[in-house]
Structure 1
Amino acid sequence: MAARTMNSTACLRLPAALMGDLREHLFRPDGDEHGAVIGASVIETGRGIRLLARRLFLAEDGIDYVPGERGHRMLTPCFVLRCVRACAQQGLAYLAVHNHPGSDRVAFSGDDMASHRRGYPALLDILDGSPAGALVFARNAAAGDIWLSPQHQIELDHAVVTGRTPHVLHPAPRKPRAADARYDRQARLFGDRGQQALGAQKIGIVGAGGIGSLVNEYLSRLGIGHLVVIDHDPIEATNISRVVGARASDCKPTWLPAKIARLLGWKPTPKVRIAERVAKEANPDIRFDAIEADIVDPHAADRLVDCDAIFLAADTMRARHVVNSICHRYLIPVWQAGTKVHLNDSTGDIADVFSVVRRLVPGESCLWCSGLIDRTRLAEEAASPQQRAAQTYIDEIPNPSVITLNAVAAAHAVDDYLFTTVGLTSPSARAEWIRHHPLSEYFAQLKTASEPGCPQCGGHLAAGPLEPLPVRERSQ
C-alpha cells in the first residue's frame, strides 16, 4: 500500500452497535481501565482523514489487558500482534483503545504517549501504509493520537456515533462562537452551538428536481456550510411549477423551434446551476459543488463519501442502490424523500396520494432489507439504450407531481435532519419512517428493516473504499 498523504485532521465514525459493545466493555461498574482495538477503514479527502470503525477486538482482562510495565495497564504483545495482523490483512487502520475516568474531558497521559513512540513505528511497518493510532474515551469524550508515519502524527478532532440519535465526542467541550445575526431567530432554538454545527456540515443532495430543489433552499437558508448537489438533467418547461428558483428564461422559449435553438447554441439551464443560484442568493458564503452528472457516474458518487448527511430526492432504483450503499459503507445517514400519486388502472381515478420520508441509519435501516429496491427495475435502468430497444423497454409515463406534496416530504426530512444534528432529538424517539396521506388526512408510521446477513447494511458496513460502490465502470 502506498504511503498516505500528509493530512492535518482526522475524525472517527462508529456504528451505534459497535459503540454500544465498546462502551459496555470499557465502562463497567468496577470503574477501572479496560482495553480494546478497533480496525478502521480509511478514506482521505480534502476534509482530512476519516476513519470508519469496522471491526472491534475486545481485550480480556488479565489475559489480553494486563498491568503495565511503565503505565497502569497495557495490551499484551500477543494481542497487539494478532490484531495488527488482522488489520493489515484487511487493509484497516489499527487503533488501540482504552478508557479514563471522567465524563466530558479526556486526554492521554505521559505514559500513554511514551508507549506510542515506542511501539507505533513498528506497527506501521506491519500495516504497510495504513495508519496506527490510539483512542482514549471518557463517557462523553474521546481523544486520539493517529500515526500516519513515524514522522507525522495528527490528533483526532472528533468522533461521531452514527445511530438514530447521533452523538459527537470531542476531547473537551468547545465554546461556540456567537451565531451570525442572519440566523438569530433559529439560533434561539438550536443555540449557538447548534448553529455552528450546521455551518460545519457538508451535505449531499441527489436530485435537484421538485423535492431536491426545496431541500436545497431550506439547507441554504439554515446556514449549512457546504452543499454538494448532483443531477444530470436540464430544466424543462414542465418543471417550472415545482422547481424552486427556476425561471422561464431557463427554458427554451415555446416560440423558438428546437432546430433553431440548437443552431444558436442555446441550451436549457442545468438543474444543479439553478440550485447553485438559489443557494448563493440565500447564503453568499456557502460552498457549493454543482455536479452535472448521474449519481451512478463514479466521479459523482465519490463526491458524497465524506458528507455528514445525504438527501436522496431522485427516485430511480439505481440512485437508491448507490446511495443506500454509500450510507452503510461510509457510515453516512440518509434521508430519502418522495411523493407518489397512484391512479386506478381501469378508471384513471386517483387511488392514493402520499409524501414519504425514510431515514436510513447506517447498519440499522436499509432500502434493500425493506424491499424498496426492485431488482427487475434496477436491471432495466442499467440497460443501454440499445438493450432497452431490443427488450421493447418503454419508459414510464411521468407521475403527477405538485409542489405542495413535495414540500411536505422535504420539510419533514430537513426537520428530522436538523433536530438530530443539533442534538434536540429525544433518545427515545421512534425509528419509524413517516408517510403522509392527504386524501384521508393521516400520517402512517412504517417499520424500518435491517436483516441479518444483508451484504449492504451488514457485510459492507464501514467498509469504505475497501468495497466498490455499485456505479458505472470507471474509465481507465
Structure 2
Amino acid sequence: MRDTRIVLLEPQMALLRKLLFDRMGVEGAAFLLCGQSQTERATKLIAHVIMPIAEEDFLYREAYGLSISSSALVRITKQAKIENLSIIFAHSHPEGFADFSDQDDGEELKLLPFLQKRVPDRVHGTLVLTENDIRGRLYLPHQEPADVILEVGARIRSWSKNPENEITAIFDRQVRAFGQDIQKILSNLHIGIVGLGGTGSPVAEQLCRLGVGRLSLFDGDVLDATNVNRVYGSKVDDAGQFKVEIIKRHLDSIGLKTIIDVFPKHITDKNTAESIRDCDVVFGCTDNELPRSILTQLAMHYNIPVIDLGVLISSQHGAITSVYGRVTTLISGEACLFCRGRISAEAIRVETLSDEDRRNQIRDGYAPELDEPAPAVIAFTSATASAAISELLHRLTGFMGEERQSSEVLLAFDQSRIRTNRIEPRDGCFCGDHTMWGRGDVQPYLDMVWATHTK
C-alpha cells in the first residue's frame, strides 16, 4: 500500500496558521507550492513556499465556507507550472471540526480537476486545519488520505490519519515518561540509518526498542572481525556478512513490530541514495565525507532532519589523549556540515579517487597518506549514539526545555564536558539558498553529479 505524506518546515506551519486564522469565526485559506518525492513505495509533498491569498481574491468568507476568485486560481497554477511545483490548497475550520466536511468534498470535486488540468504530471493535495489538528489528502490522481503530516524544525510534530492506534503494553515505561501521543508519533515514523557500525548499530537498537514504525538500514560494508567489539547484534561467526543483514536479523529477533528494510550498498550509489528520501528522519553514522555531503543535500531538498554523529579518539603510544563525540542536526535554515568545517570539498575529492589515482597523488604530494584505522571503543560510540537519540526525543517532546535552540552537541568524554552551539549558515553557502529548500525530486537527483561506478 502506497505511503502518503506531507512535510512542512516549522516556520512554514507558523505562517500557514497565521494566514488561516487571521479572522475570528470565519474560514481562512492559503496555497502551498510544493516539491514532490515519488518512489515505488511512497509519495511525499514537501512545502516549498506558502502563498497567501489577498483579501480581494476571496469572493466570500464565512464560518462554514469560503470561495476564491478564478483569477487567483489562474495565477497560482501559472506559477506552479512555471516552477514545476505541486499545489496544496489549505483552509481552516474555525469551529473545530477536525476533518473534511461534505462541503469540502464537493468543492474538491471542482478544484482538483482544475489543478490537474492546469498543472499536469504533478501530485496535488488539500489540507484542513483546526486550532489543534490537521488532516490532508493527496490526489494520485485519485483521492488518498495523507498517512502522516510532519512539521520539522526545532521541534518535530506529527499528525496521523489513524491517531487512535493502540499502544502495546511493552512501551508502558516510556509512555509514563513521554505520554501516549509521542509513542503514537514514534510508531508512525520512518527513520533511516546510514552506516551500521559503532554508532549506527546502537542507534538502530534504540530506535527499534523505542517503537519506531519503520527503519531503513543503509551500509555496503560487511562485518570485519575487528567490528565485533562495538557493532550491536554481531557475533564473531558473522564476519563476512553484510552489516545491515546482521542487524536486521538481530532487530527482528527482538519481536517488536518495527519493519526493517535493508540496503546493502553505500549511498554513493545513486539508486540506493534515492531510497533515503522516503524517510522522515535520517541518522548519519558514516565515517566518510562524501556520504555526509549527500545527506546534507538530502536535508535541504526534502526537508528531512538529518542527525549526523561521529566519534574521534586521539591516542599516542596506546594512551588516550582526547575523546570527542559530536551530534549535529541538519535541517533547512541551519548551518550545514560544510559551514561548520565538519566536511570539506578537498576531502571529498580525495575520497572519490580511484586507488591508483590516490597512490599517484600521494606520491606527487597532492593527497594525504592513507590513514591507519581509527581507534574505536564501544563506550564512546554507544554514548554518542544515545546522545543522538536524545536529540530526536527532545525534538519530539521538548524535554530539554523550549528555550533550547542548539543544533550541535559536542561531548568531551575525557573532560566530562558537554557543550552545545548553533551557528548561522555561512555567507554564500548553498545551504542558505531558500530556492532549494523543499524542492524535492529534481534532475539530476539532489542536483549532484553521480558516478557511474562507485567505490
Alignment TM-score > 0.5, same fold: yes
Which one of 144, 163, 167 corresponds to residue 154 of structure 1? 144
Aligned length: 444
Question: Contact 2:9 / 2:151 at 8 angstroms: preserved in 1?
Answer: yes
How far apart in 1 are the matches of 2:164 and 2:273? 35
Change (3 A) 1:306 1:422: farther
Alignment of 1:9-408 (within 5 A): 10-28=4-22, 30-45=24-39, 47-62=41-56, 64-67=57-60, 72-102=65-95, 105-149=97-141, 152-169=142-159, 174-177=163-166, 179-251=167-239, 268-283=240-255, 285-342=257-314, 350-392=320-362, 393=367, 394-408=369-383
Flag the 1:125–1:183 CA change in 2: closer, same or farther, 3 A.
same
The equivalent position to 2:437 in structure 1, one of 461, 468, 474, is 461
Query: CA-to-partner distance for each residue in 1:54-76, whole Å, 9 max, x for gaps?
Result: 122111112x233279x843222
Distance in 2 between residues matched to 1:248 and 1:221, nearest whole Å: 24
Matched with 1:472 is 450
1:12–1:158 Cα contact (<8 Å) kept: yes
- Percentage of matched positions with identical amino acids: 27
1:380-400 residue CA offsets vs partner (Å, 9 max, x unmatched): 112222321221243222222
Are residues 202 and 46 of structure 1, via their aligned partners in 2, closer, same or farther at CA, if it must alter by over 3 Å? farther
SS at match of 1:465: coil
5+ residue gaps, structure 1, are 1-6, 252-267
SS in 1 for 2:7: strand
**Structure-1 residue corresponding to 2:410:** 435
2:148, 2:188 within 8 Å by CA — same for their partners in 1? no
Alignment partners' CA distance in 2, 1:305 and 1:16? 19
| Structure 1 residue 154: Cα displacement | 2.0
Would you say the 8 A contact 1:203–1:310 is kept in 2?
A: yes
Task: Please say if residues 41 and 463 of structure 1, whose CA atoms lie closer than 8 Å, have aligned partners that are also in contact.
Answer: yes
Distance of 1:404 and 1:54 partners within structure 2? 41
C-alpha distance in structure 1 between counterparts of 2:343 and 2:83, whole Å: 29
Cα 1:28/1:219, change in 2 over 3 Å: same
Distance 1:37 1:356, change over 3 A: same
Q: Is the 8 A contact 1:35 1:65 kept in 2?
A: no
Q: Which residue does 1:256 correspond to in 2? A: none
Are the counterparts in 2 of residues 165 and 426 from structure 1 also a CA contact under 8 Å?
no
Q: How big is the alpha-carbon RMSD for the aligned residues of Structure 1 and Structure 2? A: 2.7
Given the two structures, how large is their TM-score scaled by the length of structure 2? 0.89
Contact in 2 for aligned 1:221/1:283 (Cα 8 Å): no
2:385 to 410, 416, 422: 410
SS of residue matched to 1:466: coil
Q: Deviations over 1:158-193 (max 9, x none)?
A: 42111111222457x83341x323323223223343
What residue identity is the alignment partner of 2:352? A
Report the Cα distance in structure 2 between the residues aligned to 1:20 and 1:395, rounded to whole angstroms: 49
Q: Distance in 2 between matches of 1:343 and 1:448?
A: 30
Indicate how the Cα distance of structure 1 residues 419 and 53 shifts in structure 2: closer, same or farther if over 3 A, else same. same
Q: Is the 8 A contact 2:77 2:118 kept in 1?
A: yes
Larger radius of gyration: 1
* Contact map agreement 1:232 1:270 (CA 8 A) in 2: yes
Distance 1:144 1:121 in 2: 17
Question: Structure 1 residues 114, 290: closer, same or farther in 2, change over 3 A?
Answer: closer
Change in Cα spacing, 1:216 to 1:111, as seen in structure 2 (3 Å) is closer
Taking a change above 3 Å as real, the CA distance of residues 423 and 47 of structure 1, as seen in their structure-2 partners, is farther
Q: Once the 2 structures are TM-superposed, how far is the Cα of residue 354 of structure 1 from its aligned partner?
A: 1.1
Q: Deviations over 1:213-239 (max 9, x none)?
A: 111221222222322111122222222
Q: What 5-or-longer segments of structure 2 have no aligned partner?
A: none
> Per-residue deviation at 1:30?
4.5
Contact 2:327 2:384 in 1 (8 A): yes
Q: Bigger CA drift: 306-315 or 30-39?
A: 30-39
Amino acid across the alignment from 1:127? V
Q: Which amino acid aligns with 2:182?
A: G
